[in-house]
Amino acid sequence: MFFLFFYLQGTIHPFRKTHRSIFGKLLQEFRLVASDRRSWRILLFGSLNLLCTGCLLMWCSSTNSMALTAYTYLTIFDLFSLITCLISSWVTMKKPSQLYSFGFERLEVLAVFASTVLVQLGALFILKESVERFMEQPEVHTGRLLVGTFVALFFNLLTLLSVRNKPFAYVSEAAVLMIIIGVDQIMKWRCFLLVGLFFRTL
**pTM value > 0.75:** no
Residue spans of the domains in the chain: they are 23-94+102-199
Measured between alpha carbons, how far is 67 from 139 in angstroms, rounded to an integer? 14
H-helix or E-strand containing 37? none
Q: Which tens digit of pLDDT belongs to each residue from 145-163?
A: 778 888 888 888 888 777 7
Q: Which tens digit of pLDDT belongs to each residue from 89-105?
A: 887 777 777 766 666 77
Measured between alpha carbons, how far is 131 from 136 in angstroms, rounded to an integer? 9
Q: Which tens digit of pLDDT belongs to each residue from 12-57?
A: 555 555 566 777 877 877 787 778 777 888 888 888 889 988 988 8
The mean predicted confidence, pLDDT, of the chain is: 76
Question: Identity (one letter) of the amino acid at 136?
Answer: E
pLDDT over threshold 50, residue 2: no
- Sign of the torsion formed by the C-alpha atoms of 74, 77, 79 and 81: negative
What pLDDT score was predicted for residue 4?
47
Alpha carbons within 13 A on the beta-carbon side of 176: 6
